[in-house]
Amino acid sequence: MDETREGRDAPVRADEPPPFGGSWGRLYALVITTLALLVAAFAFVTRHFA
Amino acid sequence: MSGLDWLVLVGSQALVVLYGVWKGRRATTLEGYMLSDRSMKWHIVLFSIMATQASAITFISTPGQAYVDGMRFVQFYLGLPVGMIVLSVTAVPIYHRLKVYTAYEYLEGRFDLKTRALAASLFLLQRGLSAGLTIFAPSLILSIILGWDLYITNVVMATLVILYVATGGSKALEKTNRLQLGVAMFGMITAVVVILMKLPPSLSLYDATVVAGKLGKMNAIDFSFDWNNRYNFWSGLIGGLFLQLSYFGTDQSQVGRYLTGSSVAESRIGLLFNGLLKIPMQFFILYVGIMVFVFFQFVAPPLFFNHVEVDKIAASPRAAEWKALEARHEAAHAARREKVEELVAASGNADTARAERAAAALREADEAFRGVRSDAVALMKENDPKAATTDTNYVFLTFVMRYLPSGLIGLVISAVFCAAMSSVASELNALSSTTVIDVYKRSIRPNESDGHYVRTSKVATVFWGLFALGFAMVAHRFAPSLIELVNIVGSLFYGTILGVFLVAFYLKHVRGTAVFAAAIVAEAAVVWCALGTKIAFLWYNVVGCVVVIVAALVIQAAMPRNAARLEN
């Protein structure tokens, strides 16, 4: 698979949708939710094994 | 190391360097050399970002950190995912829209030349020294563990990096970063599999984690607030957020990586996936250290992991006292091992009271064991006040050298080399870009051809490579506190630079003179925090950033209207 693509002269689009995931809002929510789940998991690990 | 280890090490390194030189051979334009023609897909951006951040110290010291201090270091990264979102929303579209080569280029358009020059100079100073430490730190550890010559190790590491970065620029390092991160992670995964195989067959992974937990090592989260506590939830989330915003948003070694994305979307996705993967990756590396810790509950660890210091005291007039401590250490280990086995047996049945009693007895035995180690460290200090009495960096590689089979040792050492070289490569590329774009092209030779600037960039890469190598050669004079120092030095500047960029992004009425003066005030405040208070260093990032913003607003408001208008 070609890993590069010609982008040098392509116009810059800040509102360009993500290649997957539907919208940027959803992707940001995914990152925050994952962080929250990791913190919860760490809290569980800390408490459970203490 | 055996012949097989050498074969794995030399073969894998040769492959990486040749691959880099081959992939970067067609970089003839400035944009191609510095930013891979802004043509990379998100997963290449992601691997490059991760490989740049994960230096050799990440793979050598982090397991040792967990061995000594438990899992709490993972909290250092809690601000990173939020930082990735903030940068995706703010910095990435701006940098792409302006088609800048470096982050500092943007500051001239927004403020003035002096603010750009200040930020670029702070970066060149800090990152130039930092590149030297990135070479020196793993070389020092490898030289002590393997008996290699420190200077030759420095020279080999620096030469290999200079070779492919100077030849192929950004494209060479983007391609090799992916390979290097792969080798580094494969080395760690292999190491943890071997550790698990070497634990007693009756001990499950859960039991191993219980043992670590009862000895206070599974301390992944601490919600209590304390300004002076280096790693807790709040310092990681808030202080860490500011540090990561500054590192990824204003440090050219990272900005240069995601500017290679072919669009705003590709750069953003690369950053967001870094936000998803970084914390689990660090958790895994720390957990490797936890498993080494559990392994050494069943097999006696050395009294001290830095054998150079041990050899020194063993050859000194205090040798007899050291020998006696070693005997006490062995006895304390045997007693602790007995308690570990009792705990494992007690955890296997429903009698929780028995398990609690076993855990309490284990903690007592562990305290006695650690007491012997404290006595050993005190004796080393008495014998030689300059002795390096922290051995965190040597724990993991000592385990690797003693207990990993032939071939895998070479793989892990290769992983260390890969991690070091991927970070240094990005640093050299960023130093070269900043030198050429923000200094040479801007103020010395503004109207030359692309070919001229590419050649100058190659010379700049070699210059910074030699500068870093030179610093690596003398860095041992500042050791052993150097590695910690570099993180602290980074935090001295990062907050101020971040503040300048945040003012640029969000406070449109603030002009160059106000932000320049504010940056100087903020830097003074950060230095005062470092020298005059006990505030943990992660908070310096917050202080620097907030002071820049507040001072810039105040100074701008206080400036005569005519002066402000003139700047506009």
Candidate from B149-163, B299-313, B474-488 with smallest mean pLDDT: B474-488
pLDDT tens profile B459-472: 999 999 999 999 88
φ/ψ of residue A12, rounded to 5:
-85, 125
Query: Which residue, among B449, B535, B440, B519, has the nearest Cα to B235 in the 3D structure?
Result: B535
Task: Write down the pLDDT at residue B563.
Answer: 56
Give the pLDDT score at A2: 33
For B358, the 3-state DSSP assignment is helix
Q: What is the mean pLDDT of chain B?
A: 87
pLDDT, one tens digit per residue, over A1-50 is: 333 333 344 455 656 888 888 899 999 999 999 999 999 999 999 998 88
CA–CA separation, B365 vs B334, rounded Å? 10
DSSP letter at B390 equals: -
Longest alpha-carbon distance in chain A? 57
B175 against B276, higher pLDDT: B276
Question: Comparing B248 with B228, which gets the higher pLDDT?
Answer: B248
B441 CB within 8 Å of a chain A CB: no
Of B176-180, B245-249, B279-283, B488-492, minimum mean pLDDT range: B488-492
pLDDT, mean of residues B483-500: 78
pLDDT at position B568 over 70: no
Residue B44 has pLDDT above 60, yes or no: yes
**pLDDT in the model for residue B45:** 92
Alpha-helix residue ranges (DSSP H) falling in B199-300: 205-214, 233-234, 240-250, 252-258, 264-298
Ramachandran region of residue B384, left (φ > 0), alpha (ψ -120 to 50) or beta?
Answer: beta
Nearest CA-CA distance, residue B212 and chain A, Å: 8
pLDDT band at B139 (very low <50, low <70, confident <90, very high): confident
Say how many residues make up chain A.
50
- The pLDDT of residue B416: 86
* Other CB atoms within 10 A of residue B194 CB: 18
Contacts of B99 (CB under 8 A, 6+ apart): A12, B38
- Checking if the pLDDT of B28 tops 50, the result is yes
The pLDDT, as a whole number, for residue B564 is 52
d(C-alpha B93, C-alpha B80), whole Å = 19
Q: Which residues of chain A neighbour B233 with C-beta distances below 8 Å?
A: 39
The model's pLDDT over B409-445, given as tens digits with 9 standing for 90+, comes to 888 888 888 888 888 888 999 999 999 999 999 989 8
The pLDDT of B90-114, averaged and rounded, is: 90
pLDDT of B199 higher than 50: yes
Cα–Cα dist B34/B398, whole Å: 39
Which residues of chain B make contact with A35, given a CB cutoff of 8 A?
A: 78, 81-82, 275, 279
- For residue B531, the one-letter residue type is L
Whole-number Å distance between alpha carbons of B249 and B266 = 16
Using CB atoms, pick whichever of B39, B218, B263 lies closest to residue A4: B39
Measured CA to CA, the distance from residue B353 to residue B8 in angstroms comes to: 51
Residues of chain B contacting residue A22, judged by C-beta atoms under 8 Å apart: none
Specify the pTM. Answer: 0.86
pLDDT digits (tens, 9 = 90+) for B333-357: 999 999 988 888 887 777 788 888 8
Give the Cα separation of B415 and B187 in Å (integer).
6
pLDDT digit string, tens, across residues B519-559 = 999 999 999 998 888 888 878 888 999 999 999 999 999 88
